[in-house]
Amino acid sequence: MSDSPRKVCVVLVDRANYGRLKPVMRAIDRRDDLALQVIATGTMVLERFDSPVRVVEADGFTVDSRIHVEVEGSIPSTMAKSVGFAVIEFAGEYQRLQPDIVLIIGDRYEALGAAIAAAYMNLCIVHVQGGEVSGSIDESARHAITKLAHYHVPATRRAADYLARMGERPDTILTIGCPSSDIACQIGLEVSPEIINLRGRGAKIDPGKPFLLVIFHPTTTEFGEESAQVRALLEALARIKIQTLLLWPNIDAGSNHISKEIRIFRDREDGGWYRNLTNLTPENYLKVLAAADCAVGNSSSFVRDAGHFGTPVVLVGSRQDGREWDAHVMRTDPVADAIEAAVREQLSHGRYPKSTLYGDGAVAPRIAEALAKLEPYVQKRLHYPGSPRNEGG
């Protein structure tokens, strides 16, 4: 027992989160006292999203299992059923892999499913990116995962403070910082045109000239409004009409309405200025984010990762409301006029100073060190010391 390396099972749910966990996986791989297990699920294993799991393997990692959990439908009830299905499938895989620690990042429904299965199976859970605040169902899922997790790696000081206030034991907060900062600090920032233009469809984008990066996901708690919201965004883009790289939305309830609006827009609009892209590798995504003259939409990476590069951001709608952000972010409602004005303002402002709000670029080795040193435990208990005397425990 004492000699065999500790098995850390990393759960990968989408390309963005793989990007954040990749430096951690590398750091785990480098240690003799840790053994890496990888479960890929969610959009990682869907061809519709270009099967990002292939990038994981191309990066040299062994993927122990692929879990398909999505009940197709893209409505709230199928999203709920997908959570349930995820719990069932993760329980089966944990049974087989017998990990010592399950490492989960973020707030997606697949991550919640992974956390529930682990918690009921008495597995020790380490959660990265807890304690943040946002909109969408992700907000509730994130804090529910916190309440199931045994250890925490918050990305910011505020998040760490919030975790402690929520009743998590201070000694279970392992370190602070988002590991995506590690990649952000290491990658070269030149964007070759091939990265953008080899795949996807639409206009050829010249990364040497000004361009927008656009991602718009559904806010599930506003289900039914996503079509109007993305139409407003597309309308604003059509007025500005500079080079635009448009990524498809994630798989949450409402996402197919957004995709549909994009397709309708594409069929209607002359396509000389924008390009649709399904996926980018983590590094290429960060390069593009770093190179963009403005990022427009509601991806959490615009709040978190864009700050590493000082890329101006126009944050559209409520999906990230509550998150910490730095000066590079300008928040607007999903109204065409407001979006247009904000994008024009950001374009004329230009780049912002780099921010270290979400990490200092040396986070992953600290996480790996903590994974090797922590003491796994099972029974959590709300930590509010100094409570009234008439209690047990």
Considering only residues 8 through 47, tell me which ones interact with its own copies, judged by CB under 8 A.
45-47
Query: How, if at all, do strands 201-202 and 274-277 pair?
Result: antiparallel
Among 329, 343, 364, 368, binds its own copies (CB under 8 A): 329
Which residue in 7, 31, 54, 143 binds its own copies (CB under 8 A)?
Answer: 143
Quick one: which of 171, 192, 201, 373 contacts its own copies (CB under 8 A)? 201
Region of 6-14, 79-87, 280-288, 344-352 interacting with its own copies (CB under 8 A): 79-87
Measured distance CA(9)–CA(14) in Å, rounded:
16
Phi first, then psi, for residue 368 (nearest 5°) are: -60, -45
Least separation, in Å, of the C-beta of 79 and its own copies?
Answer: 5
Secondary structure of residue 67 in the 3-state scheme: strand
Residue pair 50/278 in contact by the 8 Å Cβ criterion: yes
Polymer length in residues for the chain = 393
Minimum Å distance from CB 33 to its own copies? Answer: 26
Kindly write out the interface string for residues 248-287 of this chain, putting x where it contacts its own copies by CB under 8 A and - elsewhere.
-----x--xx--x------x--------------------
Query: 193 or 322: whose CB is closer to its own copies?
Result: 322
How many whole angstroms separate alpha carbon 225 and alpha carbon 2?
54
Nearer to its own copies, 283 or 305 (CB): 305
Write each residue from 359 to 378 as x if it is in contact with its own copies (CB under 8 A), else as -, in one continuous string. -------------------x
Nearer to its own copies, 30 or 157 (CB): 157
Measured CA angle at 20 (ends 375, 277), to 5 deg = 155
Site for its own copies (CB under 8 A): which residue of 29, 33, 59, 222? Answer: 222
Residues 358, 131: Cα–Cα separation, whole Å = 13
Q: How far is the CB of 117 from its own copies (least distance, A)?
A: 4
End-to-end CA distance of the chain: 30
Is the sign of the CA dihedral 298, 301, 307, 309 positive or negative? negative
Q: How far is the CB of 324 from its own copies (least distance, A)?
A: 5
Among 3, 32, 72, 375, binds its own copies (CB under 8 A): 72
- Does 144 help bind its own copies (rule: CB under 8 A)? yes
Angstrom distance (rounded) from CA 12 to CA 181: 18
By C-beta, is 147 or 344 nearer to its own copies?
A: 147
Q: Assess contact for 265 and 184: CB atoms under 8 A.
A: no
Integer Cα distance of 38 and 155 in angstroms: 22
Gap between the Cα atoms of 200 and 274, Å rounded: 11
**HSE value, Cβ hemisphere, 13 Å, CA-based, for 33:** 8
Q: Which is nearer to its own copies, 62 or 140 (CB)?
A: 140
**232 makes contact with its own copies (CB under 8 A):** no
User: Interface with its own copies by CB under 8 A: which range of 26-34, 142-150, 180-188, 287-295?
Assistant: 142-150
Amino acid identity, position 104:
I
Q: Of the listed pieces 26-34, 80-88, 227-235, 346-354, which binds its own copies according to CB under 8 A?
A: 80-88
Q: How far is the CB of 208 from its own copies (least distance, A)?
A: 25
CB of 98 to its own copies, least distance (A): 11
- Looking at 5, 29, 63, 84, which residue binds its own copies (CB under 8 A)? 84
- Lookup result for tokens 């101006």: 312
- Nearest residue to 54 via CA among 385, 354, 222, 281: 281
Q: Which is nearer to its own copies, 189 or 327 (CB)?
A: 327
Q: Are 110 and 42 in contact (CB under 8 A)?
A: yes
**Contact positions with its own copies (CB under 8 A) in 296-315:** 303, 315
In the complex with its own copies, the residue whose CB is nearer, 49 or 61, is 49
Asked if 62 interacts with its own copies (CB under 8 A), we say no
Helix (H, G, I), strand (E, B) or coil at 214: strand
Q: With binding defined as CB under 8 A, does residue 169 bind its own copies?
A: no
Q: What is the C-alpha separation between 312 and 353, in angstroms, rounded? A: 10
What is the size of the binding site for its own copies (CB under 8 A)?
95
Q: Is 256 exposed, middle or buried (0-12, 13-18, 19+ CB in 10 A)?
A: middle
